[in-house]
Amino acid sequence: MKPLNAHPPEGIEEGGAPDLPPELGAASGTIRIPELRNIALTPRVQRVIDHPAFQRLRSIRQLGPTHLVYPGAVHTRFEHSLGVYGCTQWFLLSLLRDPNIASSLTEQDMMTVLAAALLHDLGHYPYAHSLEALHLKGQDTPRHEEVGARIIRGEIDALRGPEPLSEILARDWEVDPERVICICTGNLPEDASSTDRILRSIISGAIDADKMDYLERDAHHMGVAYGRHYDRQRLLASLTLNQAEDGIGIAAKGKISAEMFIFSRYTMFSEAYWHHTVRSASAMVESALAAFYSRSQRSPEEMLGILLTHHDDAFMEWLIEQSPEGSATRHLLGGLTGWNRSLYKRVLTLSRVYLEEDKQSAYDRIYHMSHGELFGLVDRLRVALSSALGHPLHPASLIFDTPPRDKDKLESIELIYPNARGQRHYPLHQLSRIVSGVQHDFIRVVKKIRLFAEPAIARRIKALPEAEDIIMGEILAS
């Protein structure tokens, strides 16, 4: 398609110019999602939403077991996917106010990133983030981006529907399904065009449509304010391109809004996503899954089929049914299922910010342990504490929660200042002590390591005067 000769809209409100695709202008319908959001729909968007593979997302909770701590957090990947699609509409309409961008983006480019926004989480399955954490620890678990690519191509029979999504994208949306997949997964070829890199940055970057939606949506459903404390309209109005013109940047007028956005994400992780009780529930799920996978004889493909045909609660029930009495999986899930809520309690917390040398050393040792080494440490702690308490502990009565290792470096974003010679470009963290402080604190303060124990055991361990010495001694001897 030829580039659009669009006159970029003055604002980012609904309704637009006639030479924009209807998805950015005169859409024929809407769907309402929280909080007071109307998402503009067209018949071809509706065909994707109505596909069984997309409808499946109605049964996948956005935040896994978080609802056990924040009761309102039962919203789904379906709702979030619609929200990211809506935010991507805002991103495009804002960027199109720049005549250079408007003249370089084709309708096909816009439809490609809109499709990617709608389908970016298509491959999510129950407790995907917990299972993906196992992938980082050496176990063979599917990444949801790769699963989504297979679903789009129609490679998973149970989710092909009347026709694969790839056919709908090629015929109705007039886009290349493989290009959509590349934007979704981030697996861009080395010679990817600057346009494709820009489209990818709209979906995934330091400030992107995905984060814009989930921060506000999760905060709304969790009943917290942290993810909404930034000026969305000002931030959108400040969107531009970076110096290389291959990604999103922020004009200088949006500096404060960008700082507030990044700080909102920091506070959501610190006070909500990684709240100690949320991490307890997540660690219980991860440990139960790790125990199940360690003895399961099912192939990865068979497990994927089970994951994609079960909703969250049904998958938990299936795991219990497939696990023997007394197993670690049953022991852990017993506190999360069957109308039970018995979350493990903290008995030790470590972070990089602690001044004591032994605690810093303990943190570093645990952080770099393999899954097998961590399991061995837990087993030695169980034996030592069993002796101190005077009775044996169940093998699953103690679990470590270690933070994901893929979030050690937060992405930065370019800030663009106009001057007499053109423009000056700076990494935001170099000009903002707020952003640099957030990056520092995220790694040193928020990324805690915790040892959890089942509630009754935790109370007894805390009552032991020598408990911390026993635990630290085992860690430092590892």
Q: Give tens-digit pLDDT for 14-53.
A: 444 447 899 998 778 899 999 888 999 999 999 999 999 9
pLDDT, residue 178, reads: 98
- Of the candidates 63, 164, 158, 73, the one whose C-alpha atom is nearest the C-alpha of residue 119 is 164
pLDDT of residue 7: 36
> Could you tell me if 335 and 244 lie in one domain?
no
Q: What is the pLDDT at residue 16?
A: 40
Quick check: 50 and 1 in contact, CB under 8 A?
no
Regions of the chain where pLDDT drops below 70:
1-18, 135-140, 406-410, 420
Among 222, 254, 273, residue at a domain's last position: 273
From residue 223, alpha-carbon distances to 70, 217, 285 in Å are 8, 10, 23
pLDDT confidence of residue 36: 82
| d(C-alpha 198, C-alpha 205), whole Å | 10
Instruction: Decide if 417 is inside a domain.
Output: no
Element (H, E) at 316: helix 312-321
Phi, then psi, of 9 in degrees rounded to 5: -65, 150
With contact defined as beta carbons under 8 Å apart, do 366 and 381 qualify? no
pTM: 0.92
Residue 268 sits in the same domain as residue 370:
no
- Domain membership of residue 310 as a residue range: 276-406+445-476
Q: Is residue 6 part of a domain?
A: no
Cβ atoms within 10 Å of 107's Cβ, excluding its own: 19
Please give the pLDDT value at position 474: 96
Q: d(Cα 389, Cα 65) in Å, to the nearest integer?
A: 31
Residue 372 has what pLDDT?
Answer: 86
Residue 152 lies in a domain: yes
Here the contacts of 13-18 (C-beta below 8 Å, separation 24 or greater) are 14/38, 14/40, 16/93
Residue 365 included in any domain: yes
**Residue 308 and residue 216 share a domain:** no
Number of structural domains in the chain:
2
Predicted pLDDT at 409: 65
- Residue 155 has a pLDDT of 97
Other C-beta atoms lying within 10 Å of the C-beta of residue 243: 13
pLDDT of 14 reads 43
Strand duo 37-41 + 29-33: pairing: antiparallel
pLDDT of 410: 66
Q: What is the pLDDT of residue 406?
A: 65
Residue 2 domain flag: no
pLDDT at 330: 96
Contacts of 211 (CB under 8 A, 6+ apart): 261, 265
